[in-house]
Amino acid sequence: MAQELNERSQNILEAIVEDYISSAEPVGSRAITKRHSFNLSPASVRNVMADLEEMGFLCSPHTSAGRVPTEKGFHYYIDSLLQVRDLSKEEESRLRKNYRFKGMKMEDIMQEVGRVMSGLSNYTGLVMAPKFSSTVFRQIEFVRLSHSRLLVIYVSETGLVQNKVIEGAPELSQHDLEQISNYLNRELNGMSIAEVREKIVQDLRDERSRYDQMRKQALSLSSAALQDEAENLVFVSGTSLMLNQPEFYAPERLKRIIQTLESKKTLIELLDRGQAADGVQIFIGSQSQHAEIEGCSLVTSNFSNKKGAIGTLGVIGPVRMAYSKVIPIVDFTAQLVSRILEREVE
């Protein structure tokens, strides 16, 4: 439960957080009295700031007499003080015009979403495509690469493409592989990968499959092609914008964050956590439990279609993030992508 603050303390904490977000500089009592109409003397503001510091909401950088919010201060601000309004119809229309999806493949749409979110927020945009097991089967093809290796090309209903190399029966000709693909495309179309896997297991156990060699080969190949979870597709846009944030001017800190954004492993774990709940999720600093992105915040939301395929998108930036601006952008974009996915599977 959040620690209770009186109205005066709340107003001053809110002013400090918002001034710090816009300036990235420690905030002093005199600046607060000049910028905000509190009808308080600098001395009175200093007393409140000292109390807030004692309670852990503020801290004093040793180089300045001003204060900056701590993670606890940002948490309180987001949970109790931040006012996030809904976008107006005009704002939604203006945002929608930034997204140009017509004729795009799904991978291109994911990249476009990340690019636009990054451009609108001035932070780094992230998009994780729906998990492979939740995608809906549309088409599978097998292409022989060598005597014993096959390339599997899987296409989901939303147009996401996954490629995988498997070991394949050398005796199968390309014509045989085409027949197998046609059979599977008829039998499995419209099922989620989780459902496909279950059906394959059941059919392979069915004794009747031994009397139909082509069917048995089809099930065996599709089992090999779909049994492992494919790598999550994560699209990152605007990594260079981290260079503009004063918090990351220290070379070692910036290097660590850039490496994290490029490796994507940590991002996948964070975006996975965002899938655990509906609506916009905010992970602040150490709350992420990943030292690699210390000093960062992540704002995420899920998108899905009527058949349940779930992906996650979001924005990552400094803890000193313009939350009131970022949250509506992330929320609206997730709703927009969900509507696009629903149209794709109708």
Model confidence pLDDT, tens digit, residues 5-40: 999 999 999 999 999 999 999 999 999 999 998 888
CB contact set of 38 (below 8 Å; sequence gap of 6+)? 8, 11, 12, 15, 32, 45
What is the residue type of 122?
A: N
Residue 85's CB is within 10 A of a number of other CB atoms, namely 9
**What does residue 37 show for φ and ψ, rounded to 5 degrees?**
-90, 75
For tokens 């809904």, the residue is 86
Strand ranges for 101-136 from DSSP E = 124-128
Residue 94 sits at the vertex; the CA angle it makes with 110 and 91, to the nearest 5 degrees, is 110
| 346 residues of the chain, pLDDT tens digit each | 457 899 999 999 999 999 999 999 999 999 999 999 888 888 999 999 999 999 999 998 876 678 999 999 999 999 999 988 888 888 888 888 888 877 778 788 889 999 999 999 999 999 998 777 777 888 999 999 988 889 999 888 877 788 889 887 788 888 989 999 999 999 888 888 888 888 888 877 775 555 577 788 888 888 888 876 666 789 999 999 988 888 888 888 888 888 888 888 888 888 887 777 778 999 887 766 677 778 899 999 999 877 666 789 999 999 999 999 999 999 999 999 888 877 654 4
Cβ–Cβ under 8 Å, residues 157 and 176: no
Cβ–Cβ under 8 Å, residues 225 and 140: yes
The CA dihedral of 82, 8, 22, 260, to the nearest 10 degrees, is -60
User: Token pair of 201, please?
Assistant: 């297991």
Handedness of CA 25, 31, 36, 41 (dihedral sign): positive
Cα separation, 44 vs 296, whole angstroms: 32
Cα separation, 30 vs 26, whole angstroms: 12
Cα separation, 321 vs 315, whole angstroms: 10
Cα separation, 70 vs 62, whole angstroms: 14
What pLDDT does residue 126 have? 95
**What does residue 224 show for φ and ψ, rounded to 5 degrees?**
-65, -35
What pLDDT does residue 116 have? 92
pTM of this prediction exceeds 0.95: no
DSSP 8-state secondary structure symbol assigned to residue 171 = T
Model confidence pLDDT, tens digit, residues 301-319: 999 877 666 789 999 999 9
The end-to-end CA distance of the chain, in Å, is 44
DSSP secondary structure string for all residues of 263-279: H-HHHHHHHHHHTTSSS
Residue 180: name the closest of 194, 160, 166 by CA: 166
Q: Is 249 helix (H, G, I), strand (E, B) or coil?
A: coil
What pLDDT does residue 323 have? 95
Model confidence pLDDT, tens digit, residues 77-101: 999 999 888 888 888 888 888 888 7
How far apart, in Å, are the Cα atoms of 321 and each of 126, 148, 216, 250, 317?
A: 15, 53, 56, 18, 6
Cα separation, 177 vs 183, whole angstroms: 10
CB contact set of 202 (below 8 Å; sequence gap of 6+)? none
| Structural domains in the chain plus CATH codes | 7-81 (1.10.10.10), 89-131+232-345 (3.30.450.40), 133-226 (3.30.390.60)
What pLDDT does residue 113 have? 93
Cα separation, 222 vs 117, whole angstroms: 37
What pLDDT does residue 109 have? 86
